[in-house]
Amino acid sequence: MSGDMDYGKLPPEGEDHFHRLDAHLVATDTLMTTLDNIEETIEDKGMMVAYGAAGYGKTMSVNAALRKVAPDITYRLELRSGPTPRDIRHGLFHALGLPGEPPTRPIEFDTLLKDTLSETFRVLVCDEAQWMGRSSFEYWRHLWDDRHTNMAVIFAGGDDCYKVLKREPILASRIFIWQKLQRMPEDEVSATLPAFHSLWAGVDPKMIRGIDRAAAHGNFRNWTTITKHMLNGMKKKGLTEVNEDLVNWVYSKLGGV
């Protein structure tokens, strides 16, 4: 987060793009599906899981959807390194902007959080949810299950969060929507990139598909990295358009191409 006042809030749109690339948000099929699913989850006051491999746009899609439908009532946590229920308690304390010092006893802490989450409807977002184990997911269920709390919960994470939840029927049965984010099909890649960044506006779709097969593999984070290298290469080489030599130069920057 950029500062204490921003803790727990949705980040600015510009921070969604990898490498802080100056690019445009495009209404891809994935983004529109995420928007529909989040709207339904909020209406249901339920829990949703957006999961998939790294780079498929989970965080960007969730953030973009929430900026549209619930920007003022969304509170976001990003957890790292095997968080415990204690970490989630403290994360929620700061994300919700609660005053004073966090309670030292779990029972008092839980009472404070439940009372706060009962005051008004909120959307809680747990990003990087793949780091959580069973006890951490169970703690979210404990808060959500309380008959007084008033909230929807969105988990965004890698495949591991799906595996953990599916192993626990009591937890899995609480999830209202499961959304798996997958690689973008070639046709959608070639249609999306010119709208994503002006660099690709005049590039032959055949070249874009070739780059996708060789290096990007339908992964939007890969495409962001490739776009950044392309822009750097054009500046260094004094180019005004993408050509095969530049593409090969970018490949030299990437592993496994």
pLDDT tens figures, 20-73: 777 888 889 999 999 999 999 999 999 999 999 988 889 899 999 999 999 999
For residue 245, is it within any domain? yes
pLDDT attached to residue 2: 35
Assess whether 116 and 228 both reside in one domain: no
Orientation angle between helical segments 159-166 and 134-145, nearest 10 degrees: 70
Assess whether 152 and 212 both reside in one domain: no
Assess whether 129 and 206 both reside in one domain: no
For residue 147, the domain's CATH number is 3.40.50.300
Assess whether 161 and 206 both reside in one domain: no
Question: In this structure, are residues 94 and 120 in contact, taking their beta carbons and an 8 Å threshold?
Answer: no
State the pTM of this model.
0.89
Is residue 5 predicted with pLDDT exceeding 60? no
Please count the structural domains in the chain.
2
Assess whether 111 and 80 both reside in one domain: yes
For residue 119, is it within any domain? yes
Last residue of a domain, one of 126, 148, 180: 180
Domain of 24, in residue numbers = 4-180
Assess whether 40 and 156 both reside in one domain: yes
Could you tell me which residue, 8 or 108, shows the higher pLDDT?
108
Confidence of residue 156 (pLDDT cuts 50, 70, 90): very high
For residue 49, is it within any domain? yes
Assess whether 196 and 176 both reside in one domain: no
Residue 129 bridge partners (DSSP): none
Q: What is the C-alpha to C-alpha distance for residues 47 and 38, in angstroms, rounded to an integer? A: 9
Nearest Cα residue to 76 out of 133, 159, 7:
7
Assess whether 108 and 171 both reside in one domain: yes
Assess whether 66 and 139 both reside in one domain: yes
